[in-house]
Structure 1
Amino acid sequence: MLVLVVGPSGAGKDTVLGLARSALAGDARFRFVRRVITRPANAGGEDHEAVSEDTFARRSFALRWQAHGLSYGIPLDVADDLDRGVVVVANVSRGTIAFAAERFPVRVIEVTAPPSVLAARLASRGRETSDDIARRLARDVQIPAHVPLERVVNDRSAADAARDFVAALLKYHRDHKAITRAT
């Protein structure tokens, strides 16, 4: 099963994902995907495989998309893990969900926070104007109704949100095992 992690900027997806990855380290039932991005490795933020646009264009991916002037990809080898029953966890753009759901068994975890929390976090980064922040908060990309969804509200501590995130992953794993046994 492919678990797609989505959420608005400022929700703390990278932090929650990092804590969940640490909590499940060594658990072979789960794989947290390292994305391929056309962003320098030393650009800060998440650990990713940095590649040039030319290299990216020559590679094959399970999923690919563009956002904020960069190209993002999920490595093709995730299909092997999915075939073995591994729960593959990937941080993606919400716009990729419908396409992914056509190709893979998909579940979604949306990491989010109240608008006031998101606005404060975005403002504290100092990278965007208040108009830019307002535009980000106004975005509303719908998750397809047929795709199972769990929401993790990250408005308390990051550790609390990570516990909720891990609980959602474990639930998805149990559900996936039950479905697999029934077929």
Structure 2
Amino acid sequence: MPSPGRLVLVVGPSGAGKDSLLREAAKTLAADRHIIFPRRVITRLSHDEAEAHDSLTVKEFIEAQGQGRFALSWQAHGLHYGIPVSLLDELKAGRTAAVNVSRAIITEAAARFPNVAVLNVTAPAEIIAARLAQRGREAPADIAQRIAREAPRSDSWVETLTIVNDTTLEAAARAFTSALLQLSKESYAAAV
């Protein structure tokens, strides 16, 4: 029986580029069946592939949550987010799963899953503000409030790698993919 896989929690402020980096890593690692990229469920309509997710209404989400259909779920920015329960089978099969989650659930996830690491994506405040403005989802005052908000703290014992996404998407994607491979290989090496 394979050892538990590794859950890589991809965190960072909105606008840091998490979804873009996950999308690029998924393309680069498409042939690697050991690393997977579970699709999130969000109570917001998916407008484009910039943030590919499945959509549910709040009522549908709460029903699904009550039926145990999420391995992880949380609320942030007035929305509900979930990672499908199929994640558990992937981890049991020894795979590494990279998922975009809220920083606020790192401690909970680390307590629930035996092999967790964090891949923290960040960027300077002015770059984040410009990216959020370009999305057009929030008013300038809401963007300023997001930038000013302090990041939730997590347990320092959770292995964490940080990627600063402040140059080109290609450069950041290379660094992100390399870090993800490193975390996956550490997990695989520990299992054998």
Q: TM-score, normalised by structure 1?
A: 0.91
1:53 aligns with 2:64: no
Supply the AA of the counterpart residue of 1:84.
Answer: A
Match of 2:20 in 1: 15
CA–CA separation in structure 2 for the residues paired with 1:120 and 1:46: 17
Match of 2:89 in 1: 80
1:115 aligns with 2:120: no
Contact 2:119 2:160 in 1 (8 A): yes
Cα 1:43–1:25, aligned 2, differ >3 Å: closer, same or farther? closer
Match of 1:137 in 2: 147
1:178 aligns with 2:180: no
CA–CA separation in structure 1 for the residues paired with 2:137 and 2:86: 34
Contact 2:9 2:116 in 1 (8 A): yes
- Cα offset for 1:126? 4.1
CA–CA separation in structure 1 for the residues paired with 2:145 and 2:58: 27
1:151 aligns with 2:162: yes
SS of 2:51's equivalent in the other structure is coil
Most deviating of 134-143 and 31-40: 134-143
- Cα offset for 1:120? 2.6
- Cα offset for 1:123? 3.3
- Cα offset for 1:164? 0.6
CA–CA separation in structure 2 for the residues paired with 1:31 and 1:41: 21
Superposed CA offset, 1:101-124 (max 9, x none): 011121011111112222232333
| Alignment length (residue pairs) | 181
Supply the AA of the counterpart residue of 1:9.
Answer: S
CA–CA separation in structure 1 for the residues paired with 2:26 and 2:48: 21
Superposed CA offset, 1:39-95 (max 9, x none): 224476412111222221222211001112211100111111111110011000111
Contact 2:40 2:82 in 1 (8 A): yes
Contact 2:20 2:50 in 1 (8 A): no
1:103 aligns with 2:112: yes
Which of 157, 169, 172 is 2:180 aligned to?
A: 169
Percent identity of the aligned residues? 48
The answer for unaligned runs of 5 or more in structure 1 is: none
Cα 1:96–1:138, aligned 2, differ >3 Å: closer, same or farther? same
Match of 2:3 in 1: none
The answer for unaligned runs of 5 or more in structure 2 is: 1-5
Q: TM-score, normalised by structure 2?
A: 0.87
